[in-house]
Amino acid sequence: MLTYDALLELARSKKELQRILFVFAESAKRTDGEGDSSDFSISPVMFIDKELHELSDFPALVEDAKTTGKNWDLVFVAGLLGKVNELPSFPETDQQLDLMIKAINQGEIERFAAYNADGSIAELSAQLSN
């Protein structure tokens, strides 16, 4: 998996304009008595999209997220390609964010970059349960 800076560098190398999609989530160990002690759940709490020129480094993303007042400890990131001189439309972006949230809720997280709130790459090797 790429670091956040490497992810942005890769995105900037593309010819197509794109939006970067973020789904912020909370993770929690399961407390319902089912599964084993390594099971955890992930609950999306907010989402945003940004154009590449709006992004700098991970601390700036964290500061931006703080303005919402929502707690989170993981962020899932994906890119949505447009065309060479055209960003993806807002309806396309909303649809992809909805699909991203649905995938996260279903435990299908392997297709996204994932980072802890400190910017480190999230190691989500425990059994995900929803």
- The confidence band for 128, taking pLDDT boundaries of 50, 70 and 90, is very low
- The confidence band for 37, taking pLDDT boundaries of 50, 70 and 90, is low
Residue 62: other Cβ atoms inside 10 A: 15
What is the SS3 assignment for the chain?
A: CCCHHHHHHHHHCCCCCEEEEEEEEEEEECCCCCCCCCCEEEEEEEEEEEEHHHCCCHHHHHHHHHCCCCCCCEEEEEEEECECCECCCHHHHHHHHHHHHHHHHCCCCCCCEEEECCCCECCCCCCECC
Residue 31 confidence (pLDDT): 65
Q: Using one digit for the tens of pLDDT, what is the confidence trace for 43-72?
A: 999 999 999 999 999 999 999 999 999 999
Q: Pick 5 or 31 by higher pLDDT.
A: 5
Residue 129 confidence (pLDDT): 44
- The confidence band for 23, taking pLDDT boundaries of 50, 70 and 90, is very high
